[in-house]
Amino acid sequence: MRIVHTLPELAEALQPYRHPAVVPTMGNLHEGHLDLVRIAKPLGDVQVATIFVNRLQFGPSEDFDTYPRTFAADCAQLEAAGCDLLFAPTEATLYPQPQGFKVVPPPELADVLEGQFRPGFFSGVCTVVLKLLACTQARTAVFGKKDYQQLMVIRHMVAQFNLPVRIVGADTRRAADGLAMSSRNGYLSAAERAQAPQLHAALQTLAQAVRAGDSDFEALQEQAMAQLRAQGWQPDYVALRRQADLGPAQPGQSLLALAAARLGSTRLIDNLEI
Ligand code: PAF
């Protein structure tokens, strides 16, 4: 695996290829990220990963400074997963001047759910993803479904800007007890880690009720929030939405159950397709 840090090096490394298949990440990689690399590998003629902790998508009280940076371990894992080229720019490379042009995604997609609790998050994500897709000349890019709303917002951005990139969504990788893999799981204490699968369990209970024909979605969402609160979580939301665009859910549609909740000082998100 070749590792490059600058734009001229990246352009030179990409020169022989016509179809980069790209996996953008913020590093601190786990098996979920490596799945994305393995999925991307046969979808292009070169598999490119990026590692960049993007300041623009962190709120002022969020964990930009403490976000785990584990570059050496990440490189070893990427290499083992078959990655061909890693682009790991510094902030000065990707944002040589303050980023004046920003992507502003539409509020109905980006100011709900995660966007309601993390103002500006999706603008920061879209802005860096647009830049990373451009720099890496991506023709395919793979994102995890664990960040389902992120995947959907990126799909809509790519479609509306007519970017020549195919976006592929990859299933969430879970620990044996159901906890969705996430870099932020590393913040959990041992006791919190033991409790963390409750988030997935709450979504499963909700999904089972919907599959069994319960259509009182408001009540189901409230019950799931109450269940989490009783277990010591502080939920931001538990929501049933239409899978296609995260619009209001109607019985009989393909639905998505999404949740975000804080356990101690760690905020986790998860979702289930129904
Ligand atoms: O999902 C992530 O790790 C980030 O939001 C992304 C897509 C790499 C943009 O910084």
CB 29 less than 6 A from any atom of ligand 1:
no
Q: What is the pLDDT of residue 30?
A: 97
CA–CA separation, 229 and 97 (whole Å): 44
Tokens of 103: 């992507």
pLDDT at res. 93: 98
* Residue 177 lies inside a defined structural domain of this protein: no
Residues 73-82 pLDDT 10s: 999 999 999 9
The reply to whether 192 and 264 lie within a common domain is yes
50 lines ligand 1 (CB under 6 A): no
> Could you give the CA distance from residue 271 to residue 259 in angstroms, rounded to a whole number?
6
Q: With a cut of 70, which residues of the chain have pLDDT below it?
A: none
Protein residue with its CA nearest to atom 2 in ligand 1: 25
Predicted pLDDT of residue 13: 98
Say what the pLDDT of residue 192 is.
98
Q: Are residues 161 and 227 in the same domain?
A: no
Residues 32 and 79 in one domain: yes
Residue that terminates a domain, selected from 113, 135, 170: 170
- DSSP line for 13-52: HHTT-S-EEEEEE-S---HHHHHHHHHHGGGSSEEEEEE-
Percentages helix, strand, coil for the chain, rounded to the nearest 5?
Answer: 45, 20, 35
Encoded tokens for 98: 């303050």
- Are the beta carbons of 241 and 210 closer than 8 angstroms? no
Distance CA 181, CA 135 (A): 28
How many structural domains comprise the chain? 2
Residues 192 and 165 in one domain: no
Q: What is the pLDDT of residue 53?
A: 98
**Pick from 125, 141, 170: which residue ends a domain?**
170
Instruction: Answer yes or no: do 136 and 198 share one domain.
Output: no
Does the CB atom of residue 22 touch ligand 1 within 6 A?
Answer: no
- Gap from CA of 28 to ligand 1 centroid (Å): 12
CB of 169 closer than 8 Å to CB of 154: no
What pLDDT, on a 0 to 100 scale, did the predictor assign at position 60? 95
Domain that holds residue 261: 183-273
Note the pLDDT of residue 114.
Answer: 98
129 ligand 1 Cβ < 6 A = yes
Residue identified by tokens 């665009």 is: 245
Edge-first strand order for the sheet with 46-51 is 2-4, 85-87, 46-51, 20-25, 140-144, 166-170
CATH code at 191? Answer: 3.30.1300.10
Choice from 34, 53, 67, 125 to test ligand 1 binding pocket (greatest atom count within 8 A of CB): 125
Cross-strand bridge partners of residue 255: 242
| Residue 152 sits in the same domain as residue 246 | no
pTM beyond 0.95: the answer is yes
**Integer Cα distance of 85 and 245 in angstroms:** 33
